Structure 1
Amino acid sequence: MTAGRSRARCVARAALLGAFVCATAACGSSKSAESTEPNEPMSTWEEPASYSYTLTSSTQVLAGTFRVKVRNGKAAEVVGLDEDSRRQAQDLPGDVPTIGELLKTLNRARSEDADTAEADYAADGHPLRISLDWDKNSIDDEALYTISSYEPTPG
């Protein structure tokens, strides 16, 4: 009779442990719920071939405010509007992204389960603000992009 009770207790403990593990796993998987905030719909905006916009960026690589002219889907002219951005626009003009490239980065962050991958959109669907943090426990991987003065231009 002792062996029967011991086995029953072992099975009960295993079932309880299994339920605990399942519950813990369910709690830990809330990251996908976090990435679907109310302001998180995928943008239906289609990037035009030509437009201009102002980008304010605070990242480890790209910091400052830039006036960007996009032609044929590529950043054709980049003007720094402050001391840091003037230097970067001169030294690294190819590092200033188009809005389409920013959206690709946002989508990649979402697909790779970044801790933060959020955007706010204008009425026409183009992003106004993109906030990224790949790993909340890492330093210097955060990025904040603010998009203003967006104007489509004739090709």
Structure 2
Amino acid sequence: MTAGPFRSRSAAAAALLGALACAGAGCGSSGTPTAGATATAGPVREWQEPAAYTYTLTSSTQVLAGTFRVKVRDGKVVEVVGADADSRRQAQNPRSEIPTIGKLLAMLDRARGEHAHTAEADYADDGRPLRIVLDQDENSIDDEAFYTISSYEPGTLSTP
């Protein structure tokens, strides 16, 4: 019968040690995030969207689903190539809005400002997002959005 209280004390001690280690390591600081860091509070990134870059977006939302290679110049999407037939069809649809990384970050900031149920991001060492998860209302169906940002390549404005 002593195993129950012993486990409780052990768990409490482990939680206390974890909290102390976290406090000593600066958990929750606003320094440069690491690749595995997840932020659920305000913005913690220091990344600034460059004038030119290319990236791959994998999106799973009610309005945009698929994998897209996206070229951005001066804050605007200038070229989109879908990875499969459905993504290519969506990329050709003028009503499909393929976001820049800056727009994805703005959506994340807006969701946080509106106290969305979920507004999370994982960041690379340089501060750019690798994954963004949004869910405005826990009880709403089909308002979730999952974005994965990969194959990021900074570019120059002279690159066609």
**Which runs of structure 2 are paired with 1:99-138 in the superposition (5 Å)?**
99-138=101-140
Identity %: 69
Cα deviation 1:84-128 (Å, max 9, x = unaligned): 211110013760000000000000000000000000000011000
In structure 1, distance between residues paired with 2:69 and 2:147 = 13
- Aligned pairs, how many? 118
Aligned twin of 1:79: 81
Larger proportion of helix? 1
Aligned twin of 1:23: none
Question: Which of 46, 49, 68 matches 1:47?
Answer: 49
Unaligned stretches of 5+ residues in structure 2 = 1-36
Does the residue aligned with 1:95 lie in a helix, a strand or coil?
Answer: coil
Aligned twin of 1:88: 90
In structure 2, distance between residues paired with 1:69 and 1:92 = 16
Unaligned stretches of 5+ residues in structure 1 = 1-37
TM-score (norm 2): 0.71
Q: 8 Å contact 2:90–2:96 — kept in the other structure? A: no
Structure 1 consecutive aligned stretches of length 4 or more whose deviation exceeds 3 Å? none
TM-score (norm 1): 0.73
Deviation (angstroms), 1:51: 0.1
Look at both structures and tell me which one has the larger radius of gyration over its CA atoms: 1
**Which runs of structure 2 are paired with 1:14-93 in the superposition (5 Å)?**
39-40=38-39, 42-92=44-94
| Superposition RMSD in Å | 1.2
